Amino acid sequence: MNIVLLGSGNVATHLGRAFKMAGQTIVQVWSRDVEHARELADTLASEAISDMDDINRTADLYIIAVKDNAIRELALTLNIGDKLIVHTSGSTSLQALDGVSGHTGVFYPLQTFSKNKAVDFRQVPIAIEANNPEDLAAIRAIADRISERVTELNSAQRKALHVAAVFACNFTNHLISISQQLLEDENLDFDLLRPLIAETASKVQLYDPATVQTGPAVREDNEIINSHLEMLRDQPELQDLYRKLSQSIVNLHKQTRG
């Protein structure tokens, strides 16, 4: 299968690698900045382009993996006839590709991608969507080549999944950044926290997260909570987050117990 990849960011990079490892051909990588296109294209034995006029019009699949707010504009500049085109966004509806081709779809890989960290793509859930069963079947066949976890979601479900992923990944990673800063303030090594972070994620592979909640908030140990808030008195933003998150834990577990 011949694929044109539009975009050169984290998602484009990891998708390109996954398809290449699965024996597919990335014929071109497009990016507004040809240097960015080349950097990725070189690792995929692919051609780098930045001019839309140079696009290969005979590929089997066109993957738009750019920032959400650039998807529609870019799609409308594509001039490739009735080819199969997908975007990779969690929060953009399928309709963003309306009028671009008769065969459009969504191909949303749910994972946190950083360029220099390899990922086992076979385990990455891919949420797919299309306007008709034929296109959906075609997209599913493509997704099956790189992942064991392909699932059909409509645009509303995919968006809910994306919001959930922001909480479960982006926000948790940020809280971990905060924890590293708190350690650095006391000249403590972040390695002290790494086993705890690994175990926190390991637990929820087996259990529902609410059932393994630990810490002062779920115990409603206000003495500890207040002493922690006092410790954070010079960092009002962190103090506010600590207070809000503790209250949210109390609220959730009152509900559950109630």
Kindly identify the residues of this chain, within the stretch 101-120, that bind its own copies according to CB under 8 A: 110-114, 117, 119
CB 29, CB 16: distance < 8 Å: yes
For the bound state, the minimum distance from the C-beta of residue 235 to its own copies, rounded and expressed in Å, comes to 10
**φ, ψ for residue 130, nearest 5 deg:** -155, 170
Rounded least distance, CB 72 to its own copies, Å: 11
- Residue 127 CB, nearest approach to its own copies (Å): 8
Residue of 7, 14, 17, 29 lying closest to 113 (CA atoms): 14
Q: Which is nearer to its own copies, 18 or 61 (CB)?
A: 18
> How far is the CA of 251 from the CAs of 67, 246, 255, in angstroms?
36, 9, 6
Question: Nearest distance from residue 86's CB to its own copies, in Å?
Answer: 18
Instruction: Quote the distance between the C-alpha of residue 174 and its chain's center.
Output: 15
Q: Shortest approach of its own copies to residue 54 CB, angstroms?
A: 27
**Type of residue found at 17:** R
| Minimal distance, residue 140 CB to its own copies, in Å | 16
Residues 120-159 that bind its own copies (CB under 8 A): 123-125, 127, 149, 151, 153, 156-157, 159
Can you tell me which of 2, 79, 95, 173 binds its own copies, judged by CB under 8 A?
Answer: 173
Instruction: Map the footprint of its own copies across residues 190-209, applying CB under 8 A.
Output: 190, 192-209
Token pair of 32, please? 């507004």
**Taking CB under 8 A as the criterion, which residues in 40-99 touch its own copies?**
67-69, 91
For the chain, the distance separating the N- and C-terminal CA atoms, rounded to the nearest angstrom, is: 55
Closest to its own copies by CB, 21 or 192: 192
Using CB under 8 A as the binding rule, whether residue 167 contacts its own copies is answered as: yes
Give 54 or 240: the residue with its C-beta nearer to its own copies. 240
Asked if 50 and 150 touch (Cβ cutoff 8 Å), the reply is no
Question: For residue 85, what are the contacts with CB-CB under 8 A and spacing of at least 6?
Answer: 61, 62, 64, 75, 78, 97, 100, 101, 103, 104, 105
Q: Which is nearer to its own copies, 58 or 170 (CB)?
A: 170
Residue 245 identity = L
- Name the residue nearer to its own copies (CB basis): 9 or 56: 9
Given a contact cutoff of 8 angstroms between Cβ atoms, the answer to whether 61 and 4 are in contact is yes
Q: Specify the pairing of strand 2-6 against strand 61-64.
A: parallel
Instruction: Give me the least distance between CB of 27 and its own copies, in Å please.
Output: 28
The count of residues interacting with its own copies (CB under 8 A) is: 94
**Cα–Cα distance, 106 to 257 (Å, whole number):** 40
Closest CA to 196 of 186, 210, 183, 211: 183
CA of residue 224 relative to chain centroid, distance: 35
Looking at 25, 237, 254, 258, which residue binds its own copies (CB under 8 A)? 237
Interacting residue with its own copies among 19, 30, 62, 242 (CB under 8 A): 242
